[in-house]
């Protein structure tokens, strides 16, 4: 996963800070906008785990701190539920300007309610997923129900939520009471996935039922059985992210790469617009080759020379282990570490210039097992006899012709 720190401004000109998680091996096929739970922030463990699962499936994920939380500017006490929805719209504008408009929106807890409302103003959204979300935003007031009268009488109160102190003002209560989520759900025609744990003690499972019944098809429900409200278990976060990725693909446009057919063992295909990012078919397996970012690539895959080094490492390990098995030697494991570089030739009779260099593979071998010194010496000798090693040291002929 490639993680980037980003920032944008809310409607009041305050800076909101987020993290944009990108796939490690490709450009995102779709972008996801994530709304975190009440008083949480973008670095909440469940959000990170869900994001990792989504990026592994090719999604880009933007998660950010709502106004007054985490690294974002503003006073939390001056914010409200409507402000969270407005922040989501500004985050959408950021994605649209710098990458592509989000096609999926996810909301956790109260963030789920905000995601549903925001989605109705984001034309690019094709799929909505809620996680442990209340069917009515007013549900959040149960967290500070002991302070409700104080807030109404004095205008605000300090409340403790999750071990942290927050100022809740009366304007927040009035704002959240003005939203009737069920009516908005009924008007929604976007695909909806409701995820909820039957063991959720913060937002009861009844809320999931009410959201599901209010929604039109296409709608789906998945039980996060055994999970708590905050998805504290890392496995629950990954499971949730993988579920959303699999479900959402039915409603999204995901470019499909046409497999390249060839009579050869290996084929590489590179489009004009892809820079150095090259699609490869090796036998029955598909890979990506690329160059490092420092060289102008995207670093979505190994470089061509890294593939050559990999071939040498693999062939060396196979040859050594095959020889040891034939000899019935106690070689438990062999590691072959290889890197490639060009080095200056110190002794060169026919160098074209003083800067002449030679291709060099640095190979180091680690052996695990109760081997005697003569056995180790023989294994190192055998390493130099692996087929790829011999090919690289021999004079190689490459015949090239044009395919029609």
Residue 34 sits at the vertex; the CA angle it makes with 33 and 39, to the nearest 5 degrees, is 145
Q: What is the pLDDT of residue 153?
A: 87
| Average pLDDT value for the chain | 92
Paired strand residues for 367: 334
Q: What is the pLDDT of residue 346?
A: 52
pLDDT at residue 276 is higher than 60: yes
Residues 6+ apart with CB under 8 A from 378: none
Mean pLDDT is lowest, of 201-215, 284-298, 315-329, 344-358, for: 344-358
16 vs 11, 36, 37, 42, CA distance in Å? 10, 14, 16, 11
Q: What is the pLDDT of residue 264?
A: 86
342 vs 58, 178, 337, 355, 359, CA distance in Å? 35, 69, 17, 11, 5
What is the phi/psi pair of residue 374, to 5°?
Answer: -65, -35
Quick: pLDDT tens for 234-243: 999 999 999 9
In the chain the domains, ranked by start, together with CATH numbers, are 2-251 (3.40.50.1820), 266-393 (3.30.300.20)
pLDDT at residue 294 is higher than 60: yes
Quick: pLDDT tens for 337-373: 999 988 644 544 555 555 567 889 999 999 999 999 9
Quick: pLDDT tens for 112-163: 999 999 999 999 999 999 999 999 998 888 888 888 889 888 998 888 877 7
What percentage of residues in the chain have a pLDDT greater than 90? 75
Q: What is the pLDDT of residue 347?
A: 46
What is the rounded distance in angstroms from the CA atom of residue 393 to the CA atom of residue 1? 37
Quick: pLDDT tens for 76-122: 999 999 999 999 999 999 999 999 999 999 999 999 999 999 999 99
Cα separation of the two ends of the chain: 39
Helix residue spans in 265-358 (DSSP H):
304-327
CB 87 within 8 A of CB 16: yes
Residue 128 sits at the vertex; the CA angle it makes with 53 and 142, to the nearest 5 degrees, is 95
What is the rounded distance in angstroms from the CA atom of residue 235 to the CA atom of residue 237? 5
Paired strand residues for 381: none
Helix residue spans in 260-372 (DSSP H):
304-327
């Amino acid at each position: 996963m490639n993680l980037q720190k980003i920032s944008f401004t809310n409607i009041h000109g305050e800076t909101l800070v987020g993290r944009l998680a990108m796939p490690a091996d490709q450009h995102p096929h779709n972008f996801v906008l994530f709304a975190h739970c009440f008083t949480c922030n973008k670095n909440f463990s469940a959000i990170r785990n869900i994001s990792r699962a989504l990026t592994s499936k090719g999604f880009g994920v933007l998660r950010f701190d709502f106004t007054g939380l985490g690294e974002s500017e503003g006073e939390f006490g001056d914010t409200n539920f409507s402000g969270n929805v407005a922040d989501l719209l500004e985050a959408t504008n950021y994605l649209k300007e710098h990458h592509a408009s989000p096609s999926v929106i996810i909301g956790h807890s109260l963030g789920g309610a905000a995601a549903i409302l925001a989605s109705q103003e984001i034309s690019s959204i094709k799929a909505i997923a809620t996680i442990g979300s209340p069917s009515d935003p007013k549900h959040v007031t149960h967290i500070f129900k002991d302070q409700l009268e104080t807030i109404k009488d004095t205008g605000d109160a300090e409340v403790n939520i999750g071990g942290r102190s927050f100022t809740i003002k009366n304007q927040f209560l009035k704002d959240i009471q003005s939203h009737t989520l069920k009516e908005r759900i009924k008007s929604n025609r976007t695909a909806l996935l409701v995820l909820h744990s039957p063991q959720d003690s913060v937002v009861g499972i009844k809320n999931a039922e009410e959201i599901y019944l209010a929604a039109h098809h296409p709608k789906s429900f998945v039980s996060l059985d055994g999970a708590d409200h905050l998805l504290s278990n890392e496995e629950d976060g990954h499971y949730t992210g993988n579920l959303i990725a699999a479900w959402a693909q039915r409603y999204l446009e995901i470019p499909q790469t046409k497999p390249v057919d060839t009579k050869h063992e290996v084929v590489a295909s590179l489009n004009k617009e892809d820079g150095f990012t090259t699609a490869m078919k090796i036998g029955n397996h598909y890979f990506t080759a690329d160059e490092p970012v420092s060289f102008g690539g995207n670093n979505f895959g190994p470089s061509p020379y890294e593939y050559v080094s990999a071939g040498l490492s693999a062939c060396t390990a196979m040859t050594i282990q095959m020889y040891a098995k034939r000899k019935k030697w106690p070689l438990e494991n062999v590691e072959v570490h290889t890197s490639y570089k060009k080095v200056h030739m110190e002794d060169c009779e026919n160098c074209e210039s003083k800067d002449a260099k030679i291709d060099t593979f640095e190979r180091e071998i680690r052996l695990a097992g109760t081997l005697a010194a003569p056995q180790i010496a023989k294994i190192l000798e055998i390493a130099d006899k692996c087929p790829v090693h011999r090919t690289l040291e021999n004079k190689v002929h490459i015949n090239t012709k044009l395919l029609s």
